[in-house]
Structure 1
Amino acid sequence: MTPGERAEALVSELGISTPGELDVEAIAFDSGVEVVYEEMTGCEASLAGFEDRAIATINPSGVRGRERFSVAHELGHWHLHRGRSFQCRVDDPSANLASNKAFEKEADAFAAHLLMPRPIFNPLVAQLGQPTFQQLTKLAGEFDTSIMATSLRLAGINTLPVIVACYDKGGRRWAIPAADVPRRWILNDKLDEDSFTYDFLNHGKECRGLGKQSADAWFQNDDAEKYEVREQCIASTAGTALVLIYLQSDMLYVRPDWDAGRKYDARGSYVSKRGAYSK
């Protein structure tokens, strides 16, 4: 099973069926992990275990969503990587996106699925159409998660053609597309002056809701000007903006753009020199 499947199996075994029942400390206790909140320096969370018992120490942040993600992350290490001790530098999924450490990514995936399992999360998302940040904030309140974790989970469940990205004035920090977004669409490294996110970061103009935007404000592809996306951004950490970009349906079934990046077919699978396909 994948880390996410392991987490959701655990939720199912416990008979949890509503967001309010996702008591992460109680889930940890049932797994043999005692959660302790204690001031720490040099890391945000740690896990130490022996045989079938462990202690997860969490640095109090005052932000409940971040603390819960830290607990779920350490619980992921316990279920996936037992026999090792961990000192985790961060407790927010966005800060691990650039990490190449497989264990950290697996623990992040476990945490996301544990706190927002598909059988509970997906039906609530489906009621929202294409959720705005305002709607995602309410959803985050129901699951007691951060807006960052909730937005990334939206991309992760792959039910909408969405890209969740982070930009600062200098350009793109990272981007996470839903799995079915064709990889032929290549995001700009720098913010386009026509984008709402540029106006927000450079002029403080609030982005109150999803707005229509020419796709060439976001993508490098030569044919992007033929299409539209929906864009919204909100303030994130350290002078960055968290961005939602929804592709319209006609962008999902277009011919390959052989001039942009590597060669992909219309569904986004890479075409190798030998003609083999990989996803």
Structure 2
Amino acid sequence: MSVGARAEALIIDLGITSPKDIDVEAIAFDSNVKVVYETMTGCEAMLVGYCDRAIATINPSGVRGRERFSVAHELGHWHLHRGRSFQCRVDDPSANLSSNRAHEKEADTFAAHLLLPTFIFKPEIAQFKHPTFQQLTQVAGAFETSIMATALRLVGINIVPVIVACYNKDGKRWSLPSADIPNRWFLKEKLDEDTFTYDLLNSGKQCSGLSKQPAETWFENSDAEKYEVREQCISSLGDTALVLLYLEPDMLEAGFDPNVATRRYNEHGSYIPKRATLRR
């Protein structure tokens, strides 16, 4: 069973069918995890377990969505990595997306599926053709989740061709595409001066909604000039911008591009490893 399926099984077993019934502390209690809110330094959450019981200590942030994600994250560690203690430094999935910490990413996936289970979240989001940050904020309010976690779940359910990315003035921190977007599309590492995201980070100009942009402002591909994307951005943590990029349908049908980036994928979308040096 996948990490996400294990999380959603808890929701199903408890008979939860509505966002308002996803009481993360009660779900933790049912898993023999006691949740304690206590000010800490050096970490945002801590899980300590013994036998079949554990205590999850959460650093209060004053932001309910972030606190709920921290609880769900620690609950993920309890179900996935039992037998170990964890001190988690962040309560925001953005930091773990830009790291290589497998256990933290797994706990984030568990938390996302627990707080935004597919069978409840998908009907809520499907009412929007291309969800904007304003609409995602509306959904996030119903689920008591952060806009970050909600945007990432939008990618995860794969009903629209969207990329969620995070940039600062120095360039890309991370990006996450929905599953149907071909591997051949490579985002630029540095922001193009013609993007709305560049304007937000460098002059504070707000992006009120989705707007069309030439795809070449976002992608390295030489044929990107043939296409358009829809872009929206908002300010995020640590002087970064969170970006929504919707690809047009023709971009999903574009053929293999052998002349982009490091050529890490072949025409079938398979990873191409670097050739080992032959010994003589």
**Matching residue's letter, 2:173:** R
Point out the more displaced range, 187-196 or 257-266.
257-266
RMSD over equivalenced CA pairs, Å: 1.4
Gaps of 5+ in 1: 275-279
**In the alignment, structure 1 residue 104 sits paired with structure 2 residue 104:** yes
TM-score by length of 1: 0.95
Distance across 2 between alignment mates of 1:264 and 1:191: 23
How many residue pairs end up in the alignment? 274
Matches within 5 A, 1:1-279: 1-261=1-261, 262=263, 264-265=265-266, 268-270=269-271
Q: Provide the identity percentage.
A: 70
Distance across 2 between alignment mates of 1:272 and 1:97: 22
> What is the match of residue 278 of structure 2?
none
What's the secondary structure of 2:87's corresponding residue? strand
Residue 265 of structure 1 deviates from its aligned partner by 4.8
TM-score by length of 2: 0.95
Instruction: Check conservation: 1:164, 1:176, Cα contact below 8 A.
Output: yes
Instruction: Check conservation: 2:47, 2:85, Cα contact below 8 A.
Output: yes
Distance across 2 between alignment mates of 1:97 and 1:251: 25
After superposition, the C-alpha distances for 1:192-224 in whole angstroms (9 at most, x for unaligned) are: 111111111112221100000100000000000
What's the secondary structure of 1:70's corresponding residue? helix
Residue 98 of structure 1 deviates from its aligned partner by 2.1
Instruction: Check conservation: 1:213, 1:228, Cα contact below 8 A.
Output: yes
What's the secondary structure of 2:192's corresponding residue? coil
What's the secondary structure of 2:129's corresponding residue? coil
- Superposition misfits of 4+ residues, deviation over 4 angstroms: 271-274
What's the secondary structure of 2:46's corresponding residue? strand
**Matching residue's letter, 2:139:** L
Point out the more displaced range, 19-28 or 152-161.
152-161
After superposition, the C-alpha distances for 1:39-96 in whole angstroms (9 at most, x for unaligned) are: 1111110111111111100000001000000000000011111111111111110011
After superposition, the C-alpha distances for 1:223-264 in whole angstroms (9 at most, x for unaligned) are: 000000000000101211100000001000111111003154
What's the secondary structure of 1:175's corresponding residue? strand
Residues 82 and 258 of structure 1, relative CA distance in 2, 3 Å threshold = same
Instruction: Check conservation: 1:253, 1:267, Cα contact below 8 A.
Output: no
**Matching residue's letter, 1:11:** I
**Matching residue's letter, 1:53:** R
Distance across 2 between alignment mates of 1:38 and 1:273: 48
Distance across 1 between alignment mates of 2:29 and 2:264: 49
Residues 145 and 103 of structure 1, relative CA distance in 2, 3 Å threshold = same
Instruction: Check conservation: 2:7, 2:110, Cα contact below 8 A.
Output: yes
Point out the more displaced range, 92-101 or 40-49.
92-101
